Amino acid sequence: MTYLSDTFTLAGRLIKHNLRSVDTIITVIIMPVMMLLLMVFLFGGAIQIDGLSHAEYVNYVLPGILLMTIATGSAYTALRINMDKTSGMFDRFKSLPISKSAVLNGQSVASVIFMMTSTLVVLGVGFLVGFRSHALLVDWLLVLLILLGSAVAITWISVPFALMASSIDGASAFSYIILFLLFVSSAFVPVTGMPKFIRVFAENQPMTHIIQSIRGLLSSQPIGNHGWIALIWILAIIILFRFLGTLIAKRV
């Protein structure tokens, strides 16, 4: 009980920081919304996808934008962790009678809560600009589970980078790797039209499997092997980067 209490107390501290930070809200919520509007109303009319009209492009692109929302949120997770490290907060936490694992876990919980809130806001905007889904309740629950798992995985990816970085700029720079994976995936256009060497990478990297799973579920279509592969990627990333983050935190 002490472990859970410490975790949520530290998470609450970070959530308050995020809510008071205007630049965080602009970057984590407003920027993904602007990207969605840009893709739908500016680029959507120029992108040709077989079987989709221009008006239906929002249905195609929304899953990628939801993951982009999570990715931008992870940059601020890394920033907050690095600030706590460089400001001496980690040393102060170590001197307090609290669970040591609750420090990083509190960061993770706060990050995931903020990411999921931002994702729901972007999803709501998606409905306003024409997104429609034929998904059943079980499909929506699976989408929520995949997004939640993705938020946890990307949060833990940020932890080792944040702990090793010497500045807040370096800590948040890792998010460009996640954004790169999103752009070289099926987030905005089908991978079939990409050059072969890029297509092979795009077809087998985790973002494509996660996006294809969400897209299939939202359209109430079979997702094939994408669901299992996405789940394996998510679990592997969480296990690996949680281990690395915990290991590095002991040496900080």
Dump pLDDT digits (tens) for 170-190. 777 777 888 889 999 999 888
Query: Do 61 and 45 touch, CB atoms closer than 8 A?
Result: no
Mean of pLDDT over the chain = 85
For the chain, the distance separating the N- and C-terminal CA atoms, rounded to the nearest angstrom, is: 26
Instruction: Tell me which of 143 and 100 has the higher pLDDT.
Output: 143
pLDDT digits (tens, 9 = 90+) for 101-140: 777 888 888 889 888 989 999 999 999 988 988 899 999 9
pLDDT at 156: 92
pLDDT at 55: 64
Read off the pLDDT of each residue in 61-85 and give the average, rounded to a whole number: 87
pLDDT at 230: 96
Would you place residue 63 in the very low, low, confident or very high pLDDT band (cuts 50, 70, 90)?
A: very high
pLDDT at 78: 84
Q: Which range (32-36, 37-41, 86-90) has the least confidence?
A: 86-90
Q: Is the pLDDT of residue 209 over 90?
A: yes
Q: Rounded to two decimals, what is the model's pTM? A: 0.90
Residues 6+ apart with CB under 8 A from 194: 202
pLDDT at 172: 72
Quote the radius of gyration of the chain (alpha carbons, Å): 19
100: number of CA atoms within 13 Å, CB side?
Answer: 10
Query: Do 102 and 6 touch, CB atoms closer than 8 A?
Result: yes
pLDDT at 141: 96
Read off the pLDDT of each residue in 232-236 and give the average, rounded to a whole number: 96
Instruction: Name the nearest CA neighbour of 113 among 15, 243, 185, 208.
Output: 15
pLDDT at 86: 80
Q: Is the pLDDT of residue 235 over 70?
A: yes
pLDDT at 110: 86
Would you place residue 51 in the very low, low, confident or very high pLDDT band (cuts 50, 70, 90)?
A: low
C-alpha–C-alpha distance, residues 66 and 230, integer Å = 15
Q: Is the pLDDT of residue 213 over 90?
A: yes
pLDDT at 179: 86
Instruction: Tell me which of 252 and 165 has the higher pLDDT.
Output: 165
Instruction: Report the share of the chain in percent with pLDDT over 90.
Output: 36
C-alpha–C-alpha distance, residues 245 and 252, integer Å = 11
Read off the pLDDT of each residue in 25-53 and give the average, rounded to a whole number: 76
